Amino acid sequence: MANAAAYSYLGSSVLAPSGLALQTSGGPAEHPRFFAGFLTDPGAASAGLLAVAEVARTRYFRPLSPASLDPVVTAGSDRLRFESFSGCCGVYARLDVLPTGIDGEIVAHGTTNVDVNVPLQRALSRVGRADPMHLAVGPDDLTVTTFDGPVVERKVPLPSRWLRGFAEAQVLTARFDPRAELGAVEARALLNRLSAGDRSVLWAVPAGRSLRMTSRPTPGAVCLPGAGRLAALKPFLRHAITLRVYGPPVTAGSGPVASTWELSTPSQRLSLALSPEPYRGFSGEGSVLESLASDEAADDADLVSVLLSWDPTIDVDALAVAAGLTAARVRDALTQLGTAGRVGYDVAEAGYFHRTLPYSADAVADMNPRLAGARALVTAGAVTLEGETAVVRNGDELYHVRHDGSCTCWWWARHRGERGPCKHALAVRLVRSGVIADEVKA
């Protein structure tokens, strides 16, 4: 697979008669066992995991053959998280199994890939509400014990776009607020009347106990960019008691924005975050670039990384006090760590959480081509400051960057800042921050 990164495992993943043996990566030891126990609501857990796998195998824009079937699972201090991106990277799915959903002990922390292939999908689809479901993730295995027989799994490399997607989704969702909450009956009625093939951008406006769909944004509305992309939530409806919707503030003139749609049970949450438009993947949004362009972000990230603990959520204010940094610099540092897939954001708890993937920020620097291009421009001495404006030479072309970050290049003309700054504006920011050429070489 092109542009993919591979893990190092002890062997292949196999579902033997005793359960599913899945190799792991991450955690405090080389190959730790970080969880063993039962799931208290196995029917919901199997439906949620199948939903996360369904998103991973689907391309919602220009559908093609199935992409990846390899969701990421993280064991935190008190919960399990299963995550995936769609093949087009425009939908981010996550199943959170909360403390009340686990009857067992998380003895270490780590992250691995779960290969949900067709035989395992069939096994999970037959798990009922009262059927026992046991998971144990260890140095040689993750055992999923059900009433089914053996399944042999294949490992699928983690696409590099997922790393960029993790970072972008973290930054975008951190700006969200709760916008609406619906009960089970209203949630079922709403999701069932949405068209599976709808790719239009709609706006959901709170109306009584439900949501009313309109074609224009209004204050308090939530963007629904491509209603068909919520299809993976529907099988989970029979378990859910609440639908919550999250999004950023909008006005009457707002363009499309991302949003998160979350179904919850007392012990689990299944959420889908949608990119601002069906054809846009999270990996190309550019929302992380302003934070990464700071000359302090890399050093701050190293310090914050040392201070991180494996609490259920990351306390930004506590980290700021411990590190002697401002909260804004801590958030920039978390964004830097997010480029290596090490930090995510939970809109339900309005807090950051940990994820352990075997990548460093340096190793994924080239995954942000605009930032790499900006660094190359600075290294080449292509930026000339002229008061509050700047001139950037790129080949035979001259581009003028204003103090507000706008530019005369085609990228700015096309996107108007909605997909992050262009490389010329980033280069100007790097120069203004005092970063010298040797420090910004990719």
pLDDT in tens, 361-404: 555 555 667 877 888 898 889 999 987 889 999 888 899 998 88
**SS3 for 199?**
coil
Helix axes 118-125, 42-56, angle to 10 degrees: 150
Number of helical (H) and strand (E) elements in the chain, helices listed first: 11, 25
Q: What is the mean pLDDT of residues 249-253?
A: 91
Task: Say which DSSP state 282 is in.
Answer: G
pLDDT at 22: 45
Work out the pLDDT band at 360, boundaries 50, 70, 90: low
pLDDT bucket at 12, cuts 50 / 70 / 90: very low
Res. 260 pLDDT band, cuts 50 70 90: very high
Q: Do 225 and 145 reside in the same domain of the chain?
A: no
Mark whether 49 and 153 lie in a shared domain: yes
Strands 177-183 and 158-159, how do they pair? unpaired
The band of 304, judged by pLDDT with boundaries at 50, 70 and 90, is: confident
Are residues 103 and 171 located together in one domain of the fold?
A: no
Residue 31, by phi and psi: left (phi above 0), alpha (psi -120 to 50) or beta? Answer: beta
> Which residue in 345, 292, 406 sits closest to 169, CA to CA?
345
Same-domain check for residues 30 and 103 = yes
Segment 289-314 mean pLDDT: 71
pLDDT at position 69: 58
3-state DSSP call for residue 437? helix
Which residue would you say has higher pLDDT here, 202 or 123? Answer: 202
Residues 188, 151 within the same domain: no
Which of 125, 159, 193 represents a domain boundary (last residue)?
159
Tokens of 126: 């037959």
- Under a CB-based contact definition with an 8 Å cutoff, are residues 299 and 329 in contact? no
Residue-level pLDDT at 133: 86
Q: Which residue has the tokens 């099988």?
A: 235
CATH number where 224 lies = 3.10.150
Residue numbers of the domain that contains 102: 4-159
Residue 298 scores a pLDDT above 50: yes
Q: Does residue 188 share a domain with residue 155?
A: no
Per-residue pLDDT tens over the stretch 59-96:
887 665 555 557 888 888 889 999 999 988 899 999 99
**Could you tell me which of 92, 245, 241 has the C-alpha nearest to residue 178?**
245
What mean pLDDT, rounded, does the chain reach? 80
Closest CA relative to residue 143, chosen from 118, 123, 122: 123
Residue type, 234: K
pLDDT bucket at 286, cuts 50 / 70 / 90 = low
Read out DSSP for 108-140?
S-EEEE----HHHHHHHHT--TTS--EEEE-SS
Domain C-terminal end among 284, 302, 336 = 284
Task: Please report whether residue 294 resides in a domain.
Answer: no
Q: What is the pLDDT of residue 201?
A: 92
**138-142, 143-147, 188-192, 277-281 — which is least confidently predicted?**
138-142
> Tokens standing for 250?
């909008």
Distance CA 33, CA 107 (A): 7
Question: Mean pLDDT, to the nearest integer, of 316-340?
Answer: 85
pLDDT value for 404 = 84
Distance CA 423, CA 370 (A): 5
pLDDT tens readout for residues 399-427:
999 888 889 998 888 877 777 788 898 88
Note whether 278 and 384 are same-domain residues. no
Question: Is a pLDDT exceeding 90 seen at residue 299?
Answer: no
Would you say residue 117 lies in a domain? yes
H helix intervals, 339-400: 369-379
CA distance 71 to 81: 10
CA distances to 188, 421, 425, 440 from 401, in Å:
49, 11, 6, 20
Residue 95 is encoded by which pair of tokens?
Answer: 């199943």
166: its two tokens: 């993790």
Bigger pLDDT: 423 vs 148: 423
Q: How many CB atoms lie within 10 A of CB 208?
A: 7
Query: 400 and 253, same structural domain?
Result: no
Residue 107 scores a pLDDT above 90: no
Q: The tokens of 311 are what?
A: 């609490």
DSSP string, 298-334: HHHHHHHHHH----SSB-HHHHHHHHT--HHHHHHHH
Please check whether residues 254 and 379 belong to one and the same domain.
no
Which of residues 70 and 216 earns the better pLDDT score?
216
Q: Are residues 172 and 222 in the same domain?
A: yes
**Residue 350, domain member (yes or no):** no
Domain membership of residue 231 (yes or no) is: yes
Rounded CA separation 262/347 (Å): 9
CA R_g for the chain: 22
d(CA 208, CA 410): 44
pLDDT value of residue 363: 55
Q: Kindly indicate the confidence band of residue 17, based on its pLDDT and cuts at 50, 70 and 90.
A: very low
What percentage of the chain exceeds 70 in pLDDT?
78
Whether 199 and 131 share a structural domain: no
CATH of the domain at 96: 3.10.150.10
User: What's the number of domains the chain is made of?
Assistant: 3
Among 126, 159, 192, residue at a domain's last position = 159
